[in-house]
Structure 1
Amino acid sequence: MKFPFLLPAVLATFAAFQAPAQTAPKAAPPRVAADQLATAKDPLTVQPITHGSVVLSWNGKTIYVDPYGGAPAYAGLAAPDVILITDIHSDHLDLKTLSGLPVDHALLIVPQAVADQLPAQYRQQVCVLHNGQRLDTLGLRVAAIPMYNLPATADARHPKGRGNGYVLNLGGKNVYLSGDTEATAEMRALKDIDVAFVCMNLPYTMDVQQAAQGVLAFQPGIVYPYHYRGQNGLSDVARFRQLVQQANPNIEVRLRNWYPATQ
């Protein structure tokens, strides 16, 4: 006697045993709570991600700065309208993270050195800004600020002219993103900065004392120490706050945990 109706059932059972077990999606790493700052138009939301990465949201626009650390770190956040990349190093130009994010409709604002390393799939989205140049787009203004090591030599980790710090004007608020820099003349000469994100990690950028001196020169209303993981671990950002506020208590230093997954 033949049982042709049994074959599909047997094959289905076999396939079920052979099918690979489904794995749960990778959980998003922990993320600190966002801050909100008032502007003349809409609140500015500041969402720390990790290291030198931050997401800014304002007036219906979302800005990713140096997206790094894996796409899961951005889970639940709006897709970017603008992406700012400061430098070619992999903690700023992170192609693996970029490829996992919904960036198809984002404008990528980058220095030329970054544009030269971006895959062809992004080329139509790129706007190159050189040090000192400015762009008005999507209701916001972006200015490229030099970022570099001192002394400014061609063989420095961050030579002058290769990377960009940025100043964004969002609803009348000026937001400075230092990128990888030391307390250069250009940083010290900044004016009317409401919010600053300032790096401090040896040997790549500067120590907390140099960072404090730079901040005291341009006197932002609020400063976030970020990008503070160096060769010997995390910089002493509490000491940075002490140095700044002892000299100028009108500068608010906001300490946030930019490395929650490691602490």
Structure 2
Amino acid sequence: MRKRANPYYSGPVSDHFDGTRFFNPGGTPPRGLAHLLRWQFGGKRVRWPGRYDSPFLEVRPELSVDGDRLRVTMIGHATLLIQVAGINILTDPVWSHRASPFAFVGPHRRNAPGIHMDDLPPIDIVLVTHNHYDHLDLETLSALYAEHAPHIVTPLGNDTIIRRAVPDAEISVIDWGDRIDMDDGLVIHAEPCHHWSARGTRDRRMALWAAFVLETPAGKIYHVGDTGFHAGINYRSALEKHGRFRLANLPFGSYEPRWFMESQHQNPEEAVMGMIACGAEHVAGHHWGTFQLTNEGIEEPLRALEAALDKAGIERSRFRPLRPGEAFDVPPLPQE
């Protein structure tokens, strides 16, 4: 049988690309249709409330954060505003009501975005980690481009998708291990994470997924959009290559049932293990409480996170499970 052509990317074979599809070296591929149906029709999904409003009102962020300050503000799910060294960075921006290819069906927001799009400061850079609909939203990217024309950074193949909505955008496309030297002392690295990609049923793993490391004048930031724990391999590699992080943005929700989700979404205990393994002094926790993608209840990640931090002897204030509109002014690394 002929291999299906890759509609997004054409490039040389590597240790994580077979010429058609990307993969996690030594890892576990996503489960197939039979397992998906078993999960979807197996019940045991905890019902979420129709609304889960944040206690933080929609905020108007500062236009710029300078000096040694570092601020991260939750907008919702995996969408964060990172402000550092006079640079404003958005991660996986999604302002749409649904994380879905359809406007009428699919996971819907349980809370409003923490920052109204009209209240954003000037956005310099957008990081898109992969192409799942809860991370790559073409409607949002089109609106951001019209207002801010940011520089978009994304892994291999995702640029093809993004250009459908913003054909004139400045897009830097990077592979694992690549780096981009930006202005104002910012360097962006693409690093491995254990995940996968798809926009439909016939394009699985045809665009790459990645984590990002940001070298800034105010310290290093490790941003992970989605990942399975993968025995901590990628976390330890990030520490070995980049050293300690002032901040890591780590997912800790959307993880049940484990038999289906373990290879793609880490749970709170694994997120804490990842925090330790990568040498992060502080964590902004995301990927919870906005879109119901999996079986656990809406606040189960919070309880599990607190238990994991207590078990590890880590102060709860160091791992912040952010709510929409909540801003976290990250303390500097302690002097050694």
Q: TM-score, normalised by structure 2?
A: 0.58
2:270 aligned residue (204, 207, 210): 210
CA 1:208–1:158: 2 relative to 1, 3 Å: farther
* Distance (whole Å) between structure 2 residues aligned to residue 95 and residue 249 of structure 1: 38
Q: 1:30 to 1:91 in 2, by over 3 A?
A: farther
Residues 245 and 74 from structure 1, CA distance in 2 versus in 1: closer, same or farther, beyond 3 angstroms?
Answer: farther
| CA distances 1:171-190 after superposition (whole Å, capped 9, x unpaired) | 24111111111123112332
Aligned residues: 224
Q: Distance in 2 between matches of 1:245 and 1:170?
A: 31
1:141 aligned partner, one-letter code:
V
CA-to-aligned-CA distance 1:160-202 (integer Å, 9 cap, x gap): 9811111112224111111111123112332211111111222
In percent, how many aligned pairs have the same letter? Answer: 22
Instruction: Report the secondary structure of 2:213's partner residue.
Output: strand
After superposition, the CA RMSD in angstroms is 3.2
Note the 1:1-263 alignment, pairs <5 A. 30-31=57-58, 41-70=67-96, 73-101=116-144, 102=146, 104-120=148-164, 121-139=166-184, 140-149=186-195, 162-184=208-230, 185-191=233-239, 192-200=244-252, 201-202=254-255, 203=261, 204-229=264-289, 230-232=293-295, 233-234=297-298, 235-249=300-314, 252-258=318-324
Contact 2:61 2:121 in 1 (8 A): no
What are structure 2's unaligned runs of at least 5 residues? 1-55, 97-112, 256-260, 327-336
Contact 1:226 1:258 (C-alpha < 8 Å) held by counterparts: no
**2:90·2:123 contact (CA, 8 Å) conserved in 1?**
yes
2:149–2:169: 8 Å Cα contact kept in structure 1? no
Following TM superposition, by how much is the alpha carbon of 1:223 offset from its aligned partner in structure 2, in angstroms? 0.9
Report the Cα distance in structure 2 between the residues aligned to 1:225 and 1:218, rounded to whole angstroms: 15
CA distance in 1, matches of 2:303, 2:147: 36
Seen in structure 2, the aligned counterparts of structure 1 residues 32 and 129 have a Cα distance that, compared at 3 Å, is: same
Q: Which moved further from structure 2: 89-98 or 201-210?
A: 201-210
Greater relative contact order structure (CA < 8 Å, 6+ sep): 2
Letter in 1 for 2:227: T
Residue 80 of structure 1 aligns to a residue in which SS? Answer: coil
- In structure 2, relative to structure 1, the CA distance for the partners of 1:149 and 1:187 (3 Å cut) is same
